[in-house]
Structure 1
Amino acid sequence: MPNTVKIRLMHRPDEKLGFRLVPNYKMRYKTSEFDTSIKINSEGLRDYEYQKDKDSATFRILVLGDSFSFGFGVNSEDAYPKILEAMLNNKVNGRVKKYEVINAGVDGYGTGQEYIYLEELGNRYKPDLVIVGLYSNDVQDVMVGIPSAFAKTRVKNRFYFLSYLRGLQILLARTVKEDIRSEVLQIYQDTYSPRFENALQKTKEYLIKIRDFSHSIDSETLILIIPLTFEIDRSNWEKKGLGKLCGEDFLDKNTSKFSDIFTGFGKKEDIPTLPLLPIFRNSKVMPLYFTRDPHWTKEGHRLAAESIYNFLIEKRLIHEE
């Protein structure tokens, strides 16, 4: 079965979220750069099964995000939520006997969908901490519109839904050049259109809603800012000839702008925020990203997990005693 069909079959329409992962779906996804197995559990998560109830000795983390959190390009155990879970459980001591890190990442989700998903999953799993993976195209996702608009107008029409998921498959398989064409880099520009400015503000509002809902269920929130590949390795930019597309001096400007904006936002709103950009830039481990596909390799996911682990300890966001 072609990969395009497999990706489409992995999702089903949903009135609130626009689409969601199909429970118990299994597939193998193979490209020139990776060969992965994807298994969705009975709750529609790319993870193993969890008991909804947890005892007082379990510290539970819920990870929200898009294809980076989902682990596109790697097997489930090599995605940062599962690596983090293993790292935490290797350090178990005191009253916490077990750490669970539930991967609720869904390829193609934006911040608005993640907030809606949290309302559903938060009451189901009662996490102690919610991690939100934030990527620069999340602002574009908000600009496209809240997923309920798609659900109300198109979710009942199978043809439109499959066409939408075909677009999602292309999104996942895109090269860095296609990232530019899809306007992922708008946030790095000197000035914004009113429409983009509005989407940026709405993205921040969704993050505040995620924080407030998390507090309502006695949970903390961590924003994880995920860098783009060209921010880490300039050769990815040069190999694609993107200077001609965006201007030869583009990379000489403030390419940390996305990270800076949301790091400042997190500080202002008192939301713990971890920008991965400086950590990834200083890493001696390569490659952190695939060459053609813009997602993390196993090494990228491991570095992300290690960074989160260290941040949780430093900020005392987990129980060590």
Structure 2
Amino acid sequence: MSAIVGEVLLRSLGYAGAPESQIGNIRQVNDPILNWRFIPNSRVQDGKIVLAYNSAGFRDREHARQKQPGVRRVIVLGDSVTEGAGVESEAMFSSRLQDLLGSQYEVINLGMSGLNTPQEVHVLEVEGLGYDPDLVIVNFVLNDCDFFPSSMRPSSSWRTRMQRSASWETSVSIPESSGGSSRRRSCTL
């Protein structure tokens, strides 16, 4: 009886559960580690915020698979924080990082709500490595912590490819505007 009263109370206050449009924005895929993806080229209204997904099914602008000459690629992985839950796309940290780094870098957001760390590694393996990244940032949140069952451990070929293709950096110089002039500061990533 209390469940019915609670349901009526919540609905009278305007709460109707998760928006159906977000639930409809997910498709099932044949993948034993992550059996869903966002629908490519979809748009979801979340309050006043529109979540727009690119042709790869990520909340980001379009990115060609082939890297432009002279441009360094940064892949950003994570869960809802990385995807930008609750914020406009220009307020997402991957968008802000792109603005800070400038045109010599291309920041690619592969964040998906609800992922844990093994699933994020899997997204890197099946999606991210195809973009030939120079740097990979994993946005770790404490609720992402999970163990790798043996079926989900990164393959040795993945580790070897990352060691050969990526130059790992601990910091990057970022242009910073200050009073009309530009100076550089170090930013640990």
For 1:224-239, what aligned pairs fall within 5 Å after superposition? none
Q: Does residue 41 of structure 1 match 2:54?
A: yes
Q: Does residue 134 of structure 1 match 2:137?
A: no
Q: Go from structure 1 to structure 2 and tell me whether the alpha carbon gap of 1:66 and 1:208 turns closer, same or farther (over 3 Å shift).
A: farther
Match of 2:188 in 1: 311
Match of 1:25 in 2: 42
Match of 2:159 in 1: 212
Q: Go from structure 1 to structure 2 and tell me whether the alpha carbon gap of 1:137 and 1:206 turns closer, same or farther (over 3 Å shift).
A: farther
Question: Which residue identity does 2:123 align to in structure 1?
Answer: Y
Q: Go from structure 1 to structure 2 and tell me whether the alpha carbon gap of 1:24 and 1:119 turns closer, same or farther (over 3 Å shift).
A: same
Q: Go from structure 1 to structure 2 and tell me whether the alpha carbon gap of 1:207 and 1:131 turns closer, same or farther (over 3 Å shift).
A: farther
Question: Which residue identity does 1:22 align to in structure 2?
Answer: I
Match of 1:85 in 2: 98
Match of 2:78 in 1: 65
Provide, for residues 281-302 of structure 1, a one-character-per-residue CA deviation record: whole Å limited to 9, x for no partner.
Answer: xxxxxxxxxxxxxxxxxxxxxx
**Deviation of 1:207 (Å):** 8.3
**Deviation of 1:210 (Å):** 11
Question: Which residue identity does 1:83 align to in structure 2?
Answer: R
Match of 1:13 in 2: 28
CA contact (8 A) 2:122 2:154 kept: no
For 1:259-298, what aligned pairs fall within 5 Å after superposition? none
Normalized against structure 1, the TM-score is what? 0.44
The two structures, once aligned, show a CA RMSD in angstroms of 3.0
**Deviation of 1:208 (Å):** 10
Provide, for residues 241-282 of structure 1, a one-character-per-residue CA deviation record: whole Å limited to 9, x for no partner.
Answer: xxxxxxxxxxxxxxxxxxxxxxxxxxxxxxx59xxxxxxxxx
**Deviation of 1:55 (Å):** 2.9
CA contact (8 A) 2:110 2:128 kept: no
Write the distance in 2 (CA, Å) between the matches of 1:72 and 1:79. Answer: 9
Structure with the higher fraction of residues in helix conformation: 1
Write the distance in 1 (CA, Å) between the matches of 2:157 and 2:116. Answer: 13
Among candidates 53, 59, 66, match of residue 53 of structure 1: 66
**Identity score, percent:** 31
- For structure 2, the residue ranges without an aligned partner over 5 or more in a row are 1-15, 172-185
CA contact (8 A) 2:51 2:59 kept: yes
- For structure 1, the residue ranges without an aligned partner over 5 or more in a row are 90-96, 143-198, 223-271, 274-308, 313-321
Match of 1:107 in 2: 113
**Deviation of 1:206 (Å):** 5.6
SS of structure 2 residue aligned to 1:69: helix
CA contact (8 A) 1:59 1:128 kept: yes
Q: Go from structure 1 to structure 2 and tell me whether the alpha carbon gap of 1:219 and 1:206 turns closer, same or farther (over 3 Å shift).
A: farther
Normalized against structure 2, the TM-score is what? 0.71
- The runs of at least 4 aligned residues of structure 1 exceeding 3 Å deviation read 205-211
CA contact (8 A) 1:122 1:217 kept: no
Comparing 98-107 with 4-13, which one deviates more in the overlay? Answer: 4-13
**Deviation of 1:115 (Å):** 1.4
**Deviation of 1:215 (Å):** 2.1
Write the distance in 1 (CA, Å) between the matches of 2:128 and 2:71. Answer: 16
Provide, for residues 73-131 of structure 1, a one-character-per-residue CA deviation record: whole Å limited to 9, x for no partner.
Answer: 10111100010001110xxxxxxx52110010000111111111111223421010111
Structure with the higher fraction of residues in strand conformation: 2
SS of structure 1 residue aligned to 2:57: coil
Match of 1:243 in 2: none
Q: Go from structure 1 to structure 2 and tell me whether the alpha carbon gap of 1:221 and 1:113 turns closer, same or farther (over 3 Å shift).
A: farther
Question: Which residue identity does 2:110 align to in structure 1?
Answer: A
